[in-house]
Amino acid sequence: MESLAGAEFAPQTTYLNTASSGLIPARSVAAMKAALDDAAAGGRVMDVAFEAVEETRAAYARLVGVPPRRVAAGASVAVYAGLIATSLPSGAEVLVAEGDFSSLVNPFAVRRDLTLRSAPLEELADAVRPDTALVAVSAVQSADGRIADLDALREAARAHGARTLVDLSQAVGWLPVSAEAADFTVSIGFKWLLSPHGTAFLTVPEDLGGLTPVFAGWVAGEDPWDSCYGPVAEPARSARRYDEAPALFSYVAARHSLALLHELGTDAVLAHDRALADRFRAGVTGLGHPCVAAPGSAIVSVPGLGEAAPRLAKADVHVSARAGNLRAAFHLYNTPADVDRLLEALALAVA
């Protein structure tokens, strides 16, 4: 088994750290460089860039199974979580998973008039109660790759009249997901979606979720070019009303990255990534280091070995240390040889 898109990637190291930041395909790098060159020469890069935002929005919508009108394009999960946090009434309870990623959790924590409650991931659905207003959780946990039971969570939330916010940042791009399964979803683009920093997405319900677009600028107007001065007369009639001013050059690259993922297909990426992760799980367990239980995840976390990450980096094997664990993430540009190289280097690093 080789990489799925070898011609698009030429890593000079053993790179197994997509959970921190994904590699960018050659086609995306070329497009971004061309746009920068065009901008430096005084070309009409703005037209191309705004077209790229809309193409990327549509491509992301297809990945998560909703119409493009329900997708907002921005740059940060924290900003979109903050947008949802501002919509909650004083005293509302927000339920989160223990140890979930701060960009999802902290926007609710800083609103001191909200009640923030946490529960273990595996017990989250059972922890929903009648006074819970919102449940916010990552579909796949950043620290250790555990996959949330979103079906159980959705049913529990519905039973108690709560809304759900799911962070897809560590899922979309390798794991089949549906934004229909939650009231709101968020995701950044620079991990499994192989895009530059500065790309992020929010999905909202068909009725647009009733959020107040508190950071809306001119790009959020129904006619952006007629919304440049003074209050925006008419917010966009779609989720575009929640757009941040886009990092245009990042979106020029992102549309090509998402196009590559569509060409390969999520099912193929899923099978590839899981096979590599399982190979590493078996190998590292054989070395006497059991992993955090996260069956089916492309992220593998090994307790107690986080301090080995810097030593592995010196051997050009790149993983990460999270919550004291060594975390390896396997994506479409990785191969079995990468897994074996990690196992060999790890055996030396912890000897």
Judge if 101 and 205 occupy the same domain: yes
Given 262, 277, 293, which residue is the final one in a domain? 262
Is 67 inside any structural domain?
A: yes
Identity of residue 275? A
The per-residue pLDDT for range 177-202, each reduced to its tens digit, is 999 999 999 999 999 999 999 999 99
The per-residue pLDDT for range 189-242, each reduced to its tens digit, is 999 999 999 999 999 999 999 999 999 899 999 999 999 999 999 999 999 999
Residue 114's nearest CA partner among 138, 153, 84, 85 is 85
Is 1 inside any structural domain?
A: no
* CATH number for position 332: 3.90.1150.10
Judge if 105 and 158 occupy the same domain: yes
Judge if 172 and 79 occupy the same domain: yes
* CATH number for position 243: 3.40.640.10
Judge if 167 and 225 occupy the same domain: yes
What global pTM score does this model have?
0.96
Q: How confident is the model at residue 1 (pLDDT cuts 50, 70, 90)?
A: low
Give the range of the structural domain holding residue 239, as residue numbers without chain letter. 32-262
Is 159 inside any structural domain?
A: yes
Judge if 185 and 38 occupy the same domain: yes
> How many CB atoms sit inside 10 A of residue 93's CB?
19
Write the CB contacts of 143 (distance below 8 Å, at least 6 apart in sequence): 99, 101, 301, 322, 323, 325, 327
Average pLDDT over residues 77-92: 97
The position carrying tokens 């059972």 is 126
Look at the chain and report how many structural domains it folds into: 2
For residue 46, what pLDDT is reported?
86
The per-residue pLDDT for range 47-68, each reduced to its tens digit, is 899 999 999 999 999 999 999 9
Helix axes of 102-109 and 77-86: crossing angle, nearest 10 degrees: 30
The per-residue pLDDT for range 129-162, each reduced to its tens digit, is 999 999 999 999 999 999 999 999 999 999 999 9
Given 237, 262, 287, which residue is the final one in a domain? 262
The DSSP-derived string for 279-341 is HHHHHHHHTT-PPP--TT-SEEEEET-GGGHHHHHHTTEE-EEETTEEEEE--TT--HHHHHH
Judge if 167 and 285 occupy the same domain: no
Are 246 and 219 in contact by the 8 Å Cβ rule? The answer is: yes
Judge if 112 and 257 occupy the same domain: yes
Is 197 inside any structural domain?
A: yes
Judge if 124 and 59 occupy the same domain: yes
Given 213, 233, 262, which residue is the final one in a domain? 262
CA separation for the pair 142, 169 (Å, rounded):
9
Judge if 111 and 176 occupy the same domain: yes
For residue 249, what pLDDT is reported?
97
- What is the share, in percent, of the chain residues with pLDDT greater than 70? 100
Q: How confident is the model at residue 171 (pLDDT cuts 50, 70, 90)?
A: very high
Judge if 91 and 47 occupy the same domain: yes
Judge if 174 and 216 occupy the same domain: yes
Are 16 and 300 in contact by the 8 Å Cβ rule? The answer is: no
The per-residue pLDDT for range 276-335, each reduced to its tens digit, is 999 999 999 999 999 999 999 999 999 999 999 999 999 999 999 998 999 999 999 999
Judge if 249 and 286 occupy the same domain: no
For residue 6, what pLDDT is reported?
84
